Amino acid sequence: MKFVLSSKIFKATVTQANVNYEGSITIDTDLCDKAGFWIGEKVLVVSNTSGSRLETYVIPGKSGSGIICMNGAAAHLIREKEEVIIMGFKLSDKPIKPRIVFVDKSNKVVRIK
């Protein structure tokens, strides 16, 4: 069994960073649904802007809002307006084809691969 990429939101823009929150990443529930992320799922967040990488978990954001908010300590590493890739992984005994959600600068879905 190996951990393999199962889903990804590609080149999203961080809309908020809130250090005074207990932790996690808030993601628009529409984006979560399209990417296949579950609420509470562990995700890897990588900043294309700063190079920071961190693991956290998903909490739901307002549907249709485009929100991507770094919360708690993560907000010190990845800040508002940074470009990020958000990835989820599954444990599998065979290769799987990941779902990749491409978004625009407002975090609206452009296409799904």
Reduce the secondary structure of the chain to three states and give it as a string.
CEEEEEEEEEEEECCEEECCCCCEEEEEHHHHHHHCCCCCCEEEEEECCCCCEEEEEEEEECCCCCCEEEECCHHHHCCCCCEEEEEEEEEECCCCCCEEEEECCCCCEEEEC
pLDDT at position 50:
97
Q: Tens of pLDDT along 25-74?
A: 999 999 999 999 999 999 999 999 999 999 999 999 999 999 999 999 99
pLDDT at position 99:
97
pLDDT at position 103:
98
Residue 22: is its pLDDT beyond 90? no
β-partners of residue 88 are: 7
Strands 83-92 and 2-13: antiparallel
88 — pLDDT class (breaks 50, 70, 90): very high
Residue 75: is its pLDDT beyond 90? yes
Active site residues: 24, 57
pLDDT at position 73:
94
Sorted by where each starts, the structural domains of the chain and their CATH numbers stand as: 2-92 (2.40.40.20)
Mean of the per-residue pLDDT values for the chain? 97
pLDDT at position 101:
98
Give the whole-angstrom CA distance, residue 112 versus residue 102: 6
Tell me if the pTM is above 0.75: yes
Give the whole-angstrom CA distance, residue 30 versus residue 90: 21
Give the whole-angstrom CA distance, residue 7 versus residue 86: 8
